[in-house]
Structure 1
Amino acid sequence: MTTPEEELLPATRRTLLHRIATAQTEGRAPSLVATVVRDGQPVWTGSRTSVKGHGPDENVQYRIGSITKTFTAVLVLRLRDEGVLDLGDPLEKHLPGTGAGEATIAELLAHTGGLAAESPAPWWERTPGSLRPELADVLGEQPFRHPVGRRHHYSNPGYTLLGALVEELRKAPWEEVLRREVLEPLRLHRTSCRPQAPHAGGWAVHPWADVLLPEPSEDLGRMAPAGQLWSTARDLAHFAVFLARGDDRVLSAESVREMRTPAAPAEAAEVAAGSAYGLGLQIQQRDGRLLVGHSGSLPGFLANVTISVEDDLAAVVLANCTSGPLVSNVAADLVRLVAEAEPRIPSPWRPLPELDARVLELAGPWYWGTQAVALRLSSDEGLSLGPLSGHGRRSRFRMNGDGTWTGLDGYYAGELLRAVRRPDGSVSHLDLGSFVFTHQPYDEGAPVPGGVDPEGWRGIR
């Protein structure tokens, strides 16, 4: 339940309703439901339906297709965080004998394992999983389509392998592990592997006539980790908050940030479109903002979760048709409409709760050669390094507790920053991945690589 302070303005709510109404009408969807999340709470839900007097709400289940992959990725990241596996491990180390074991776990998560997009015929989304009882039935005789690790090629069988990996290491069915480790801790009680009333029925809409055909709803068996789940707008709204903020009962904020970080080489068309793929999450630049989430489709259903971490906004859109409204566009538009109509109000500035004098003395301008940068210490970003003005390399740093810092993002992600001190304790320079930052451009009193001309700076003679 939202408070009056959290509710959207009436004009914003009408704009959102207009957007989904247009999508449902023009996309000819039997029904469509959408939810917007702001500051960690659902603040708006709307729906449209072709059945007079009967509209779905945020508690009606729809099938969410490949959004299931994000749930599977969370289970794999949990195993990594527990030290059970490393993302650089080849699959063969933990799940031998698949015939696809040379791909690493990270490559499978990012769809760079070189595997086929689909399992062998017949089409797995519209046939029972009992036709593919073993992993060999999912992979076929020739599982690879590309060299391992060379390109992003979306692979449903790849996530089947990740689900089997979870089962092997947890010694329990994927569905059981998912319920115990993710659904129950996050209180996603209306997310399940099989439909639970109330739920929408899946429909195909004739492309040239306003008539319907019911779609079969198959149990996907081995392919379940790639697309089995049913969920609701409300549950997915809460899942979106988790993907933005983390939850230590499931995955830390740092680990979900890793999921949101590009991990796959993009194709030329993807670069042009501003899209990428992380670890179980799709990433795109749209309308000047970075959006993460995932889309999903199975015969009879379309689904999308879109998150703008910077705006602290998310949108969920669900429809029960095989093709029709571009729900990923609708979700992105819902985020944009709220962000533009009701910009996020910044939190009040607050000083740091405590001060480390040895860190404070590092704050201020430094020079890498002749380039001026500033090391800043703030309550919201911690330690950060970036140009004094304009464009250039920017990174935030995490304190390691031993007088060093590790880069979190940007060019210096993973690189070590340390202050090099003289025998008297004063700071000589900063060392960052072999780069020397000095108090003055080419400070002759610091060990500048290549040395400094003894005649110093000069004009033209």
Structure 2
Amino acid sequence: MLPTTRRALLHRLATVQSGGRLPSVVGAVVRDGRTVWTGARGTLDGGDGGDGGYGGGAAAGAPTADTQYRIGSITKTFVAVLVMRLRDEGLLDLADPLGAHLDVPADIPVEARSLTVAQLLSHSAGLAAEPRGPWWERTPGELRPEPADLFGERPLRHPAGRRHHYSNLGYALLGALVARLRGAPWDAVLRAEVLEPLGMRRTTLRPVEPYARGWAVHPWADAVLPEPLADTGRMAPAGQLWSTVDDLCRFAAFLSAGDTRVLGAESLAEMRAPAVAPEAASWERSYGLGTQLLRSGGRLLAGHSGSMPGFLADLWTAPGERLAGVVLANATSGLPPASAAGLLGIVAEREPSLPEPWRARSAADPELLALTGPWYWGPAAFVLRLCEGRVLELAPVGGAGRASRFRPAAGADGDGDGTWTGLDGYYAGETLRVVRGADGSVSHLDLGTFVFTRRPYDPAAPVPGGVAPEGWRADAE
């Protein structure tokens, strides 16, 4: 990375630490799947030489990329990856009701028993933001030994599926769901299925030295107060994990590109899609399936922020630019929103990512090649392109209109059944079918009842409503 870029990143991190009055802060940038910059400011002892009330001696000195911080709600993205793995293995459907996999109290409203896995992932279930009882982030988790004990007297705050309402309670239930279907504690499942394959050896449920102590900073004086360290028990899937900048950079690289050992790129892209309609016509923030979405600097970012008493965390990725940023701090408040996005933006502006070089792909199927080129929906011109993996892309000529990509649909035996399924845009989930005549030649494309022909309103194709027999007319001179 250029020296001027490194200086700008360090300046931004120093400004964040000084302006936010943070005892310590550490940040990093990932580009093309690897960490290209790390920086740190401040000291771990809060500036007073103490150990934060944790015992075992003072945690002094500057933080490093191997220093553990509590990452708060970034934990939720890890849990969401576990749930998506269960979905991809066929052990659950995102439309499954909660009661299909967990024992839900019989005395709660029937609406709560029918909340779906997708609604819990996207915070659209309408559940209360917090579980019953005292402030869970500062309360030992043994007070809530069973999932049923998380529900209060009024567990639903909104109709399910109607709006985004952030719920820590919902992710505690998803952690219990993972444990039930895997037959092991959720954190043990996480270790085996995500952390070990990605080489994340310093991400743990409880802190392991060296780790930062958490502090509250007095709002009107340069004084600090140690924050308690509570094991949150059943609520741990909502925000318990500890991690390092090094480990989170590995996780960010995975979230950007996928890893077949953990979760494929298509499932991660599904997690990055807005799951609930924005509440405003123009939105800056939204939520997918366990992933926060942010518009920043003209780009759409995906990641998550996190907070626990004494700690703040921020992780954002720009998969299209193969960039990511991570920031961790040991204070209850003071870290500006989207601080990691700021680091990412500096690199994107000063050293924009180079596009992947074009190269010829694997040998193309001649029958699919014959389908490429111009097609017409009525008089509107479209072009069909063949992409890697037998994926088809249908887009309007000129760029204005409905564009979608389509992947081959699998038949009962796992082979393609001769149709394609829409991946995105207006035709997401719709079926594209190549219709052939009696002689085997291609007649037209059928896309969700829309007929695409090789000529505008081809009279030889079964255009709904027919084509005027006199054909196209023009004024005669």
Alignment of 1:109-124 (within 5 A): 109-124=121-136
Q: Which residue of 2 aligns with 1:4?
A: none
Note the residue ranges of structure 2 that are not aligned, 5 or more in a row: 48-59, 410-415
Determine whether 1:409 maps to 2:409.
no
Determine the C-alpha separation between the residues in 2 that align with 1:385 and 1:14: 44
The letter of the residue matching 2:294 is Q
The letter of the residue matching 1:389 is G
Q: Which residue of 2 aligns with 1:59?
A: 66
Determine the C-alpha separation between the residues in 2 that align with 1:169 and 1:360: 44
* 1:340-368 Cα deviation digits (max 9, x unpaired): 21111122211222021111111111111
Do the aligned partners of 2:390 and 2:408 also contact (CA within 8 Å) in 1?
no
Q: Which residue of 1 aligns with 2:413?
A: none
Determine whether 1:279 maps to 2:289.
yes
Alignment of 1:173-184 (within 5 A): 173-184=185-196
The letter of the residue matching 1:190 is R
1:146 is displaced (CA, Å) by 0.9
Equivalent position to 1:166, from 149, 174, 178: 178
After superposition, the Cα gap between the structure-2 partners of 1:359 and 1:262, relative to the gap in structure 1 and judged at 3 Å, is: same
- SS state at 1:43 partner: strand
Determine whether 1:193 maps to 2:208.
no
Alignment of 1:101-250 (within 5 A): 101-250=113-262
Determine whether 1:89 maps to 2:96.
yes
* 1:1-29 Cα deviation digits (max 9, x unpaired): xxxxxxx1111111111111111111111
Do the aligned partners of 1:95 and 1:101 also contact (CA within 8 Å) in 2?
no
Determine the C-alpha separation between the residues in 1 that align with 2:338 and 2:122: 22
Of 11-20 and 259-268, deviating more is 259-268
- SS state at 2:176 partner: helix
1:382 is displaced (CA, Å) by 4.2
- SS state at 2:417 partner: coil
Determine whether 1:438 maps to 2:453.
yes
The letter of the residue matching 1:12 is T
Determine the C-alpha separation between the residues in 1 that align with 2:104 and 2:425: 39
- SS state at 1:36 partner: strand
After superposition, the Cα gap between the structure-2 partners of 1:96 and 1:460, relative to the gap in structure 1 and judged at 3 Å, is: farther
Equivalent position to 2:343, from 334, 338, 349: 334
Of 329-338 and 376-385, deviating more is 376-385
- SS state at 2:113 partner: coil
Aligned sequence identity (%): 63
Q: Which residue of 2 aligns with 1:384?
A: 393
Equivalent position to 2:442, from 427, 434, 439: 427
Determine whether 1:11 maps to 2:18.
no
Do the aligned partners of 2:202 and 2:244 also contact (CA within 8 Å) in 1?
yes
Aligned residues: 451
Do the aligned partners of 2:314 and 2:338 also contact (CA within 8 Å) in 1?
no
Q: Which residue of 1 aligns with 2:25?
A: 32
* 1:324-348 Cα deviation digits (max 9, x unpaired): 021x422111111111211111222
For normalisation by structure 2, the TM-score amounts to 0.91
The letter of the residue matching 1:176 is A
Determine the C-alpha separation between the residues in 1 that align with 2:113 and 2:259: 31
- SS state at 2:307 partner: strand
- SS state at 1:272 partner: coil
After superposition, the Cα gap between the structure-2 partners of 1:119 and 1:150, relative to the gap in structure 1 and judged at 3 Å, is: same
Q: Which residue of 2 aligns with 1:48?
A: 41
For normalisation by structure 1, the TM-score amounts to 0.94
Q: Tell me how large the CA RMSD over aligned residues is.
A: 1.7
After superposition, the Cα gap between the structure-2 partners of 1:22 and 1:57, relative to the gap in structure 1 and judged at 3 Å, is: same
Q: Which residue of 2 aligns with 1:372?
A: 381
Determine the C-alpha separation between the residues in 1 that align with 2:292 and 2:370: 41
Note the residue ranges of structure 1 that are not aligned, 5 or more in a row: 1-7
- SS state at 2:64 partner: coil
1:458 is displaced (CA, Å) by 1.8
Alignment of 1:293-308 (within 5 A): 293-308=303-318
* 1:57-93 Cα deviation digits (max 9, x unpaired): 1110000001111111111111111211111110101
After superposition, the Cα gap between the structure-2 partners of 1:190 and 1:50, relative to the gap in structure 1 and judged at 3 Å, is: closer
Determine the C-alpha separation between the residues in 1 that align with 2:379 and 2:474: 16
